[in-house]
Chain A
Amino acid sequence: MAKLSYLKALSRALNDEMARDEHVCVLGEDIGVAVNNVTTGLLAKYGPQRVVDTPLSEQAFTSFATGAALAGKRPVIEFQIPSLLFLVFEQIANQAHKFSLMTGGQAKVPVTYFVPGSGSRSGWAGQHSDHPYGLFAHVGVKTVVPATPEDAYGLFLSAIRDDDPVVLFAPAQALGVRADVDIAALDAVPLGVGRVHREGTDVTVVAVGHLVQDALAVAEQLADQISVEVFDPRTLYPFDWAGLAASVHKTGRLVVIDDSNRMCGIAGEILATAAEEMRLTVPPKRVTRPDGAVLPFARELDLAVQPHADQLLTAIQEVYKSSPR
């Protein structure tokens, strides 16, 4: 076993996939020198035809990747900050995503939009701290948020190999996570399949991305009072509803923690689906950023807006104690 960091896992996945498939190429700003440390060494290894440092032209290079994909390439775009996805929403949601249906299945657009450093990086303030995965899940673009190094590796591989556009969010606060993994056993993780990180019988906690680590810590903290099951969807779209149902049918209680805005967020969707289709014995709860939040600069304010482990702990206790309806 070796220690593997989440960031190194992403880098390894991209490297392995470029070695395996000559059609895989990577585009983005500052990727030649690997400012985010994911594309380290790729330019020297694969050359400027496959590792393309782009001008600051997000809208053009995003649709450029669509054109390249229509012509047979499998581009990966690295976005240096998550908010750039707002700038290219047209190019992803309205162009790349719609080509397959609008052409009656003539076209496929296998582009991966990859955001290493999504969500809050302390001190980056309002325009660099969003976590807009819910927008993509809403329009139906395949949306992936890995929580662990081995999942970061495996899901990145699957995203690149997928024949549709896929957005992969690597939360800033997960990049430093390290795990003991058998490097030789690393493999693709299918999209749309969740993962139970810890089994429990009293409350199901759905945690997205880096919050899986928080959820596991809280579950451990509560271990002598409440048996908490931690479910990581890994892919937000398509969502593993069957996996979640299996967990909820066991526990009957549900709490969701998600680092995006509350209104129309993914946590609301999970609660709604559970309420419609699963056997909840008590009302569920969610821990999220506030409605319509914009992350303020000062550390204290930034932290005040993000969902926290202590809020999760309280929510689990409340759900556990609440009366069956």
Chain B
Amino acid sequence: MTDESMYRTMRLIRRFEERSIELVHSGHIVGGIHPYIGQEAIAAGVCAALRGDDIITSTHRGHGHVLAKGADPVRMLAELTGRATGLNQGRGGSMHAADFSKGIYGANGIVGAGGAIAAGAAWAHRNDGSDRVTVSFFGDGAVNQGVLLEAFNLAALWRLPVLFVCENNGYATTLTVAQAVAGSITARAEAFGIPSVSVDGTDARAVYDAAREAVERGRAGGGPSFIECTAYRFDAHHTWEHKARVRYRSDDEVAAGRSRDPLDVLDLPADVRGAIDAEIEALLAEAVAFALDSPAPDPAGALDHLYATGLRTRDGIGLLDSAVR
């Protein structure tokens, strides 16, 4: 794993997020997003330790994971803007972006919901004789969700190849970790006998090293692992936060958090950075143009894909009737 490739992934995530925030403000992304800025090293480091056929489950703050696992940023941005050309044909948006061809079982709007899904996927692939590993990303807020702790138990009990990655960005929406978590985060997993480690989540190399060890253990039949990655969420919980005018972090705290930027931690020559930056800039210009030029989905298909079997539902009050819209 080279520093260049890791930096490329982080730079992609960073600029994807920044361009997305612009598109929220310009009204092209409706509903807003949960920015991942400041946490890029976690997605980049973990996904660098994975194979293409490994699986991830992601969170409401999931763009970084989805991009790092290999989803096409062009179709991803089309998804965020609700276009028919999006990864999910405009049916999922920011919080449900998925690409099953890349092993991305989807971002998820319910905190902690992906852990048990990841455990089930890991179980199924292992029982098929595969050595695929499944990673479940979640935040510090999720460690207080009972279903996630139940999933730890199942994964440890059945020695499933799951890597649980807790992104501790200090806040569950506006509640601090100190206000929310009794005991320590790693102790949650240690209680189930899951090997746990806490790493600096702004250091992509450190995250990668921890993830590689955990992934190798899972692939070799050694069961689940847990990594806590500490980082700081540079931006708001959600892009609507500034409208709510909530204040829960001091300017000093935010400045201190931002002073350690994961993109600056890797020591790369300026010309290498510059070349990668230019490459990413061009890619995102293409993505924005593609998204904005892409057609919106046809309202008549609002309930397409509701059922895998193609079952059609009865109409409601003119939902699918263009005359009523």
Contacts and interface: CB of A to CB of B under 8 A. Distances in A.
Interface of A: 49, 54-55, 57, 59-73, 75, 90-91, 94-95, 99-110, 140, 142, 162-164, 192, 238, 241
A138 to B, nearest CB: 12
A103 B309 contact: no
Contacts of B311: 142, 164, 192, 238
Residue with the highest number of chain A CB atoms closer than 10 Å, among B92, B113, B307, B313: B307
26 contacts: A54-B154, A59-B150, A60-B150, A61-B116, A63-B113, A63-B115, A63-B147, A64-B119, A67-B57, A67-B118, A67-B124, A70-B121, A73-B127, A100-B307, A100-B308, A102-B91, A103-B96, A105-B305, A106-B88, A106-B101, A107-B308, A140-B306, A140-B313, A162-B309, A163-B307, A238-B311
B66 to A, nearest CB: 12
B309 A102 contact: no
Interface residues of B, number: 50
A67 B117 CA distance: 4
A60 B116 contact: yes
Contacts of A63: 113, 115-117, 120, 147, 151
Contact of B304 (A61, A105, A140): A105
Contacts of B306: 100-101, 140
Contacts of A101: 91, 303-306
Nearest to B150: A60
A31 to B, nearest CB: 15
Contacts of A91: 113, 116, 147
B86 interface: yes
Given A64-B119, A70-B105, A95-B117, A104 B124 contact: no
A55 B154 contact: yes
Residue with the highest number of chain B CB atoms closer than 10 Å, among A64, A102, A140, A164: A64
A100 B305 contact: yes
A110 B123 CA distance: 16
B198 interface: no
Given A60-B115, A164-B309, 12 more contacts: A60-B151, A61-B150, A70-B120, A71-B124, A71-B128, A99-B106, A100-B307, A102-B88, A104-B87, A105-B89, A106-B100, A140-B313
Contact of B92 (A55, A103, A109, A192): A103
B90 A59 contact: no
Contacts of A64: 116-117, 119-120, 123, 151, 154
Nearest to B87: A104
User: 3 nearest interchain CB pairs?
Assistant: A67-B120, A60-B150, A108-B308
Nearest to B148: A60
Nearest to A103: B98
Interface in B56-82: 57
B178 interface: no
Contacts of B125: 71
A108 B309 CA distance: 9
A77 B151 CA distance: 16
Contacts of A59: 116, 146-147, 150
Nearest to B99: A106
A107 B147 contact: no
B123 A67 contact: yes
Nearest to B84: A104
B120 A104 contact: no
Interface in B148-166: 150-151, 153-154, 157
